[in-house]
Chain A
Amino acid sequence: EAGVVQSPRYKIIEKKQPVAFWCNPISGHNTLYWYRQNLGQGPELLIRYENEEAVDDSQLPKDRFSAERLKGVDSTLKIQPAELGDSAVYLCASSSGTSGRDTQYFGPGTRLTVL
């Protein structure tokens, strides 16, 4: 079974530039999560999708971050414009249930560096 796929693995941009991350969850997983992990910290949830619907985006900085999950499969997370403090690893995860309490399977992450 293929795992969660993310691309790119690494991205270096200058501040004020836009950036986008892509995630393809495990086949059949209805719930998709985006996390941000700062150095020395655990992952922090940004947004959770159940199928196409964003059911929890309370932690997403909506002035510069946006996400979509068209057709309820893969998803894109965008930052525009990026700031120095956005440097982090962005993780995508998926789970098979829709309760939000199921085991999550993580992708390898995208390491973003904003200069």
Chain B
Amino acid sequence: AQSVSQHNHHVILSEAASLELGCNYSYGGTVNLFWYVQYPGQHLQLLLKYFSGDPLVKGIKGFEAEFIKSKFSFNLRKPSVQWSDTAEYFCAVISYSSASKIIFGSGTRLSIRP
């Protein structure tokens, strides 16, 4: 079955540490890839997306993600986190071959120690 895996359920970092959250998917073929973020008490917001072109995508608030097709991965990175990055992060994938159904990962909770 098609799936999206986020292996880190809870990540705890200190401010200024570097961040990398993993996302792997099981689809073949053409995909659209997304990272959404949910800050405490707020709704899901788009952080960044990849549709085509440069596999290194830059999003809001200094986040970036790299699409590595051979590894079926779309990991999220930030060189220096801030306390305000505390949130839940969801990777999502739409496969062109699956009737355009979006599948979300189970999320990674990021806690930043001030």
Contacts and interface: CB of A to CB of B under 8 A. Distances in A.
B75 interface: no
Contacts of B96: 101
A56 B100 CA distance: 10
Given A103-B46, A106-B43, A45 B106 contact: no
B104 A42 contact: yes
B44 A91 contact: yes
Contacts, number: 49
Nearest to A33: B102
A42 B90 contact: yes
Q: Which 6 A-B pairs have the closest CB atoms?
A: A42-B104, A100-B100, A106-B44, A108-B43, A101-B94, A101-B32
8 contacts: A41-B106, A42-B4, A42-B104, A91-B44, A100-B100, A101-B94, A104-B102, A108-B42
Given A42-B106, A43-B44, A56 B94 contact: no
Nearest to B43: A108
A106 B45 contact: yes
Interface residues of B, number: 23
Contacts of B100: 99-101
Contacts of B92: 42
A109 B101 CA distance: 20
A44 interface: yes
Contact of B101 (A41, A45, A106, A108): A45
A109 B99 contact: no
Contacts of B42: 108
Contact of A41 (B43, B49, B99, B107): B107
B74 interface: no
Nearest to A35: B104
A61 interface: no
Contacts of A93: 44
